[in-house]
């Protein structure tokens, strides 16, 4: 597998949110600059590419720290889109008042405009942008019409001049998003075999097939994986408990990384660190445990060979 001058695999990236115990974007409680710096110094040892999810205070802390520390990190900066229509298919409920939906339109306009603000403020750090995340799949709680996504993508591209994508589950790329694809510089796919009740023996085949179908449908359009990973704990909500542990995560990570490098395919693994604020209060909630590192910044088995010094 090819590596850069710092020993990092040349096509691999990581999804990063630095929220530790007591932090929550919903509550407006963010990591400190020192905590962000600590995280980035760890991640820069292994990855060159980082994905961020929104343009809020967390993102600006990260971009500022990368620039201040002079780290060789490139950011795929995301805009988080709020719901603009109700979605009766969302399992956890996605009904909003007309006033809230109208307000969300303005919120999304401002969020996309801020992509340009941050891209201009950190021109050597922000190298690509994603206008939305899982906002068109049938189960989403923040549904946005495809024609509206197209409009926002066009605005972002005109404003920034950077490569633009939209991050989505693999299913909508097979029809729902056909009109969006010509507007994009690359397709950003999410693939999660473990959410589809697949075991480790068939997991990589599922991921490979997800990408192959999209490449065959949209010939000539570059594809990247912007989320793929394996949770290490589950209470049974959507993922069988026996299919969620650290050894399975390590196996899938190693297979995914080797395949991505063999294809020269950009892969952003989900995710860097466990995030306690996510999902339900249940400590075994799978949403909390996708990190390659624990919330306490200890490497799980997938990372222990390279980060043995962090084991303490």
Q: Is residue 304 part of a domain?
A: yes
Domain count, the chain: 1
Reply yes or no: is the peptide bond before residue 67 cis, omega within 30 of 0.
no
Q: Is residue 5 part of a domain?
A: no
pLDDT for position 265: 97
The CATH number that applies at residue 86 is 3.20.20.80
Distance CA 24, CA 27 (A): 5
pLDDT for position 5: 80
DSSP assignments along 183-243, one per residue: G-SSEEEE--GGGGT--HHHHHHHHHHHHHHHHHHSTT--EEEEEE---S---SSSS-GGG
No. of helices (H) and no. of strands (E), the chain: 6, 8
Q: How many CB atoms are located within 10 Å of the residue 47 CB?
A: 19
Mean pLDDT of the chain: 97
E-strand spans in 16-149?
49-52, 74-79, 126-133
Q: Is residue 301 part of a domain?
A: yes
Contacts of 91 (CB under 8 A, 6+ apart): 139
Integer-rounded Cα radius of gyration of the chain? 18
Q: Quick: pLDDT tens for 291-300.
A: 999 999 999 9
Q: Which residue has the higher pLDDT, 176 or 311?
A: 176
Residues 141 and 90 sit within 8 Å (Cβ to Cβ): yes
Q: Is residue 99 part of a domain?
A: yes
Give the residue numbers spanning the domain of 36.
12-310
pLDDT for position 33: 98
**Average pLDDT of span 65-83:** 98
Q: Is residue 226 part of a domain?
A: yes
Of the pLDDT bands very low, low, confident and very high (cuts 50, 70, 90), residue 4 is confident
Beta bridge partners of 268: 13
pLDDT for position 312: 73
Q: Is residue 83 part of a domain?
A: yes
Q: Is residue 4 part of a domain?
A: no
Q: Please choose, from the candidates 250, 257, 296, the residue with its C-alpha nearest in 3D space to the C-alpha of residue 273.
A: 296
Residue 74 has pLDDT above 90, yes or no: yes
pLDDT for position 83: 98
Q: Is residue 7 part of a domain?
A: no
Give Dmax over CA atoms of the chain in angstroms: 53
Contacts of 150 (CB under 8 A, 6+ apart): 179, 180, 183
């Amino acid at each position: 597998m090819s590596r850069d001058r710092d020993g990092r695999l040349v096509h691999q990236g990581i999804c990063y949110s630095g929220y530790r115990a007591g932090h929550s974007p919903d509550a407006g409680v963010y990591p400190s600059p020192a905590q962000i710096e600590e995280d980035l110094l760890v991640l820069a040892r292994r990855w060159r590419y980082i994905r961020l999810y929104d343009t809020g205070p967390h993102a600006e802390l990260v971009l500022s720290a990368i620039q201040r520390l002079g780290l060789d990190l490139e950011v795929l900066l995301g805009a988080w889109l709020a719901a603009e229509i109700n979605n009766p298919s969302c399992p956890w409920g996605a009904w909003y008042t007309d006033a809230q939906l109208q307000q969300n339109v303005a919120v999304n306009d401002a969020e996309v405009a801020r992509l340009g603000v941050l891209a201009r403020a950190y021109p050597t750090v922000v190298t690509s942008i994603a206008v939305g995340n899982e906002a068109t799949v049938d189960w989403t709680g923040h549904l946005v019409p495809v024609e509206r996504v197209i409009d926002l993508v066009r605005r972002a591209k005109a404003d920034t001049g950077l490569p633009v994508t939209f991050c989505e589950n693999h299913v909508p790329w097979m029809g729902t998003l056909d009109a969006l694809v010509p507007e994009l510089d690359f397709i950003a796919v999410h693939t999660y075999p473990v959410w589809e009740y697949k075991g480790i023996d068939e997991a990589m085949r599922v991921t490979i097939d997800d990408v192959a179908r999209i490449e065959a449908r949209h010939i000539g359009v570059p594809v990247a994986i912007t989320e793929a990973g394996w949770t290490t704990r589950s209470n049974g909500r959507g993922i069988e408990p026996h299919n969620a542990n650290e050894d399975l995560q390590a196996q899938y990570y190693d297979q995914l990384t080797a395949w991505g490098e063999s294809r020269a395919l950009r892969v952003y693994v989900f995710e860097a660190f466990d995030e306690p604020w996510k999902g339900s209060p249940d400590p075994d909630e799978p949403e909390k445990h996708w990190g390659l590192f624990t919330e306490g910044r200890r490497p799980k088995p997938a990372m222990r060979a390279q980060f043995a010094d962090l084991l303490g």
